[in-house]
Amino acid sequence: MKKMAVLLSGCGVFDGSEIHEAVLTLLALAKAGVSYQCFAPDIAQMHVINHAAGAVAEGETRNVLVESARIARGEIKATTELDISEFDGLVIPGGFGAAKNLCDFAVNGAEMQIPPLVTEFIGQFIKANKVVGFICISPIMIPLLYGAGAQGTIGTDADTAAAFKAMGGDHQAVTVDEIVVDAARKVVSTPAYMLAGNIVEVHNGIEKLVAKVVELA
């Protein structure tokens, strides 16, 4: 049985992993007959958002690993616990946590950086030539991780696509239910809620991405 790692970035669209995307990823993997293990970096969130009010919860702090455990039903490991030999690939759901906690794109745009804990984790899959799937905003990390010419998509958002290109990436504009495959680098991406108007559209794109990730594994 193939086994995939899933990298989470908290719990909640505005400050962590997009919950629908994360759950649909786990469901698609399970339906494909693939086992999985969730991981998250053991770091503080950039900030905490009150999702009911849509505002920053001043004075609150939360841990990315602890919050991600909510989605994983407690079955989660810190990124430092990865044994790359156990896994055939990796999938990274989106949500603002991917742009705030896994990197700082939300603050610094094309001048973004990726924390060492995250770079080291994803880098193990890259060095081992294992497939990685990026969902929603998480593909913004592709150019920094894979270098000039790496292909990916965040859908059709002009500003985000421009940042992707400014970092050296080869951005492909696609519709919500499409995927982009960089076969040479074994990278797959799909827009999900960067474009989706509803959860069905998100499901369709993620199911295609997971199917391709499993195939390339």
The catalytic site residues sit at 136
Cβ of 142: how many Cβ atoms within 10 Å?
A: 27
Partners of 44 in the β-ladder: 63
Cα–Cα distance, 47 to 179 (Å, whole number): 31
**DSSP conformational letter for 11:** S
Contact 202, 193 (CB under 8 A): yes
Spell out the residues 6+ positions from residue 72 whose beta carbon is closer than 8 angstroms to its own.
8, 38
Cα–Cα distance, 111 to 178 (Å, whole number): 28
The C-alpha R_g of the chain, in whole angstroms, comes to 15
Cα–Cα distance, 5 to 86 (Å, whole number): 9
